[in-house]
Amino acid sequence: MSKILIRGAKVLGGEPQDVLIDGATIAEVGTGLSADGAEVVEAGGKVLLPGLVDLHTHLREPGREDSETVLTGTRAAASGGYTNVFAMANTFPVADTAGVVEQVWRLGRESGYCDVQPIGAVTVGLEGAKLAELGAMHESAAGVTVFSDDGKCVHDAVIMRRALEYVKAFDGVVAQHAQEPRLTEGAQMNEGVVSAELGLGGWPAVAEESVIARDVLLAEHVGSRVHICHLSTAGSVEIVRWAKSRGIDVTAEVTPHHLLLTDELVRSYNPVYKVNPPLRTERDVLALREALADGTIDIVATDHAPHPHEDKDCEWAAAAMGMVGLETALSVVQETMVETGLLDWAGVADRMSVKPARIGQATGHGRPVSAGEPANLTLVDTEYRGRVDPAGFASRSRNTPYEGRELPGRVTHTWLRGKATLVDGKLT
Amino acid sequence: MQRHLISAADLTRDDAVLILDTAEEMARVADRPIKKLPTLRGRTVVNLFFEDSTRTRISFEAAEKRLSADVINFTAKGSSVSKGESLKDTAQTLEAMGVDAVVIRHGASGAPYRLATSGWIDAAVVNAGDGTHQHPTQALLDAFTMRRRLVGRDAGLGKDLDGRRITLVGDILHSRVARSNVDLLHTLGAEVTLVAPPTLLPVGVETWPCEVSYDLDSTLPKSDAVMLLRVQRERMNAAFFPTEREYSRRYGLDGERMAKMPDHAIVMHPGPMVRGMEITAEVADSDRCTAVEQVTNGVSIRMAVLYLLLGGNEPAVTHARTSEEK
Ligand SMILES: [Zn+2]
């Protein structure tokens, strides 16, 4: 393979340096590196990050190829600066067997835009009743280590306890979608001032917080680690903070949309704002940002959830829940965390690459930008400002809540093991 | 006036008073031997009902016909959230038939708002009740009834409900009537108190422009009007209250309780009444209960709304207004 010299890039936002890629590996990092025999990319002060890692992506294949496929989803990922995504298990059929996770894993390898690590279902058919063959999925070619019934909560305390215990045998982790089902029957949006006015079924914060409280205590009791998906309330932050202070092995993620948007947007009844967990209040948004800055929340995960147009072009109650996020995540994090002074770019690399790779045990990802490391890299033009235009998305779906909104930053280049997947903002 | 009527909260005080005054003019038409006005001749109104409500549909239909509009009734029972033909497709089909106004009843909160704002259709949209959100013509007919009874039919013209004390009792949580009434009555200057068991009040009610009480008996002597909202028996099964008997005992209006109200105070009910639950037969049949008048007034209010949305600036009933001005 050929050599690439990235000249004058602010590595993790630091002083400009040159980074030489040789084949699949970073050969050298320094100043005034020789361009001899290398293709040169003038970074011109852009920020260079390790390739982003998303622990929570819905690629929809198999089963809902009308909204996304592994190929279109990984193209969207490369556009957003990702080199590795974890594909959620709520496909049709559900990824609850070695066969399905291997299929998704193989499709990811064939796509070539981004590594795809399948997540296995915790229970058969996501039904919360019977453990799926977690060991078989781990031993499959897909090598699953993260298990989740995402979209549904593992609500039965005994099943959750067993799952937490069982995956210890191969150092797996259960990622919980925390939603107490009885408290959220018919729920349409965050329960509070806005839901009271709009007459939409309320989704109380306690439905999330009570499950998180239970699960951190279960994890402590059985000595397992647990990961909390898309934490969305100030109260959840307090519980995770308490659990960590107690030494419980818990990690947590927040989505970009929960860092930026509030339930006030639901006043438009536009289902593009309908998502699970729901958009919360300003107070929650500020608590989530603070928690991501101080490390209580470990990572940003997109919960990229593509839906076809007709599933959002309808009345609120009939609409599907979810938003696409891969192609806007970094911009939202720049807006909410970097430009507010809460995180520097090294912090962004930590929350969007290093830590998610560590939680998901993604080898070769989330590594330092230094000689000898795999060349999984993302180059970001942080000076750029532009309006979000879903027509330009690589994703098959357009259900973004940011259409027309001005956001900072743009990923211009992505390299997956030295191979460019995105050049000057265009997919290769 | 705006182009659509989606929420009682969208009405200014002057809008609301104009609708009430116009409804009084419409009511005079009902007293004539020929109850028809030519105002909406050649205009087409569709009653698009995704949820069963014969009472409301008939009321709108009577109003439309008295204004000489062409009326299409479309009932799509049960299809509100189910897959199949979507709200958008249905609306666009009707629009293609040249509809000027859509009166929509839908089980999903926000469906009329979506219809009016998503660029699906150009017709004027009148919300005839959406989910647990709004039912603005109900609030208007309630305010109309209150103004007539508490201020006076002629004395009320041009006036609002300043300082009147209105109490709403019952299932506030699931009630679009309660939400619409709180908004409109506040706009008209009334003082509103909601009375319900805490389980039937929404989280967030504390920000509404009204008082909240769990105790009916202490509220009755301070009420100029008491509106009872229907409580569906199935709420009991979801543990909103223990038994029908206990609900009636604590929040039902019987003769003894009615006696605690001031002499001039009225009892209102948007119907259909559950006798023996929120109201006893004795109260329902007393002359203080305005339930039947409310039905009559509903037609006048809906005529006024359709006229103001579709009829433009021409006076609705020319001689009615001029005779008043003399
Ligand atoms: Zn989820």
Establish, for the pair of chains A and B, how many residue pairs have beta carbons separated by less than 8 Å.
80
pLDDT band at B236 (very low <50, low <70, confident <90, very high): confident
**Phi and psi at residue A389, in whole multiples of 5°?**
-120, 100
Q: Residue B312, class by beta-carbon neighbours within 10 Å (0-12 exposed, 13-18 middle, 19+ buried)?
A: exposed
Distance in Å, CA A65 to ligand 1 centroid: 20
* Interchain CB distance below 8 Å, B114 and A316: yes
Query: How large is the ipTM?
Result: 0.87
C-beta separation of A189 from A198 below 8 A: yes
**Residues of each domain in chain A carrying CATH 2.30.40.10:** 3-47+373-427
d(CA A423, CA B125) in angstroms, rounded, equals 49
Phi, psi values for residue A171, rounded to 5°: 55, 40
Locate CATH 3.20.20.140 in chain A: 51-360
For residue B322, pLDDT over 50 is answered with no
Report pLDDT digits (tens) over A193-243. Answer: 999 999 999 999 999 999 999 999 999 999 999 999 999 999 999 999 999
Confirm or deny that B148 is annotated as ligand binding. no
List every span in chain B annotated with CATH 3.40.50.1370. 8-135+295-325, 136-291
**What is the DSSP annotation of A171-185?**
T-EEEE----TGGGT
pLDDT score of A112 more than 60: yes
Q: Does B132 touch chain A (CB under 8 A)?
A: yes
Q: Which of A260, A389, A262, A388 is nearest to A335 (CA)?
A: A260
Chain B neighbors of A403, CB-CB under 8 A: none
Q: Which CATH number fits domain B136-291: 3.40.50.1370, 3.30.565.10, 3.30.420.40, 3.40.50.280?
A: 3.40.50.1370
Residue A18 is among the residues annotated as catalytic for this protein? no
CATH of domain B8-135+295-325: 3.40.50.1370
The pLDDT of residue B123: 93
C-beta of residue A157 within 8 angstroms of C-beta of residue A214: yes
Structure confidence at residue B2 (pLDDT)? 79
Asked if A316 and B107 come within 8 Å (Cβ–Cβ), the reply is no
Which CATH superfamily is A51-360 part of?
A: Metal-dependent hydrolases (3.20.20.140)
Reported as a single tens digit per residue, the pLDDT across A9-67 is 999 999 999 999 999 999 999 999 998 999 999 999 999 999 999 999 999 999 999 99
Q: A198 CA to chain B: closest CA distance, Å?
A: 5
pLDDT value of position B85: 63
Which residues of chain A does B205 touch, with a Cβ-Cβ cutoff of 8 Å? 196
The beta-carbon neighbor of A317 closest among B88, B108, B208 is B108
Residues 6+ apart with CB under 8 A from B322: none
Residue B186 at interface with chain A, using a CB cutoff of 8 Å: no
Give the architecture (CATH level 2) of A3-47+373-427.
Roll (2.30)
pLDDT at A5 over 60: yes
Q: How far is the CA of A151 from the centre of ligand 1 (A)?
A: 4
pLDDT tens digit sequence for A322-378: 999 999 999 999 999 999 999 999 999 999 999 999 999 999 999 999 999 999 999
Distance, C-alpha B62 to centroid of its chain? 16
Query: Is B271 annotated for ligand binding?
Result: yes
User: Rounded to the nearest whole angstrom, what is the distance from the C-alpha of residue A427 to the centroid of ligand 1?
Assistant: 29
Query: Where does A121-163 show beta strands of DSSP type E?
Result: 146-147
Residue-level pLDDT at A223: 96
- Inter-residue contact A407 to A380 (CB < 8 Å): no
